[in-house]
Amino acid sequence: MEGSMSSNVKINGAAHKFGDNINTDVHCSNKYTPGKDVDDVAEVAFSRLDGEFHGRFKMGDVLVAGANFGINSSREFAVHVLKKLGVSAIVAKSYGRQFFRNAINNGLPVIECDTDGIDTADAIEIDLATGKVSVAGKSIERQTPPLPREVQAILSSGGLIPFLKEHPDWSLK
C-alpha cells in the first residue's frame, strides 16, 4: 500500500488560475440547471469566470485558486464534473469544507498552500507524498504539510468507495 502510493504521487500539469471564493455549485454543477448531467455541465463549467478556459484546458491540467475554492457548495456533482474534465489536482489557499471532503472522497487531490505568483499556463508540479508544490519556470517552491496518511490512502485508491473495497474494515496497515 505504502509502496504503491509513493509510485504515483507526483502530478504535473499546466495551471489554470482562478480568484477567491469560487462557488462550484454556481460554476461547476447542475444545482441551478436541474436535469443537466455531468457531460453537459463539463462543457460549460467555469466559462462564466473565464471564457477561454475550455479552449485551453487539457486533460491532466491543474486548477489553481485563491481562498475558499468550492465555498458554499456542498454538491458532490461538482467534483464529478472536475473529474470528467480531467482535472488532476487543485491547489488553492483554502477550500470550502464540504468541497474538500467531496474532492478526497472522489480521488481528486486538493492541496492547501499560498498560490500568489502562480498564473495560468505555468507548469506546476505537486508532490503529494512530501506536500511540495513547485513551478520550476518561476523558481516557486511552496512546502505544505503533506495530507494525512489516511487521506493519502483514500486518494491513492482513487476515492473513498474504491478505498473501502480494498480496505473493508477501514484498516490502513
Interface residues for another protein in 59-98 (CB under 8 A)?
68, 71-72, 74-77, 94, 96-98
- x/- letters, 105..124, toward another protein (CB under 8 A): xx------------------
Binding segment for another protein (CB under 8 A), chosen from 46-54, 57-65, 113-121, 145-153, is: 145-153
Q: What distance in Å separates the CA atoms of residue 32 and residue 118, rounded to the nearest whole number?
A: 31
Please check whether residue 134 is in contact with residue 125, taking contact to mean a CB–CB distance below 8 angstroms. Answer: yes
Distance CA 41, CA 48 (A): 12
Q: In this structure, are residues 111 and 91 in contact, taking their beta carbons and an 8 Å threshold?
A: yes
| CB of 35 or CB of 51, closer to another protein | 35
Select from 3, 51, 55, 148 the one that contacts another protein (CB under 8 A).
Answer: 148
Q: Which is nearer to another protein, 17 or 162 (CB)?
A: 162
Residues 6+ apart with CB under 8 A from 109: 11, 88, 89, 90, 103, 126, 128, 147, 155
Locus of grid cell 463549467: 45
Task: Decide: is 51 part of the binding site for another protein (CB under 8 A).
Answer: no
Where does this chain bind another protein (CB under 8 A)?
A: 31-32, 34-35, 68, 71-72, 74-77, 94, 96-98, 100-102, 105-106, 148-151, 154, 159-161, 164-165, 168, 170
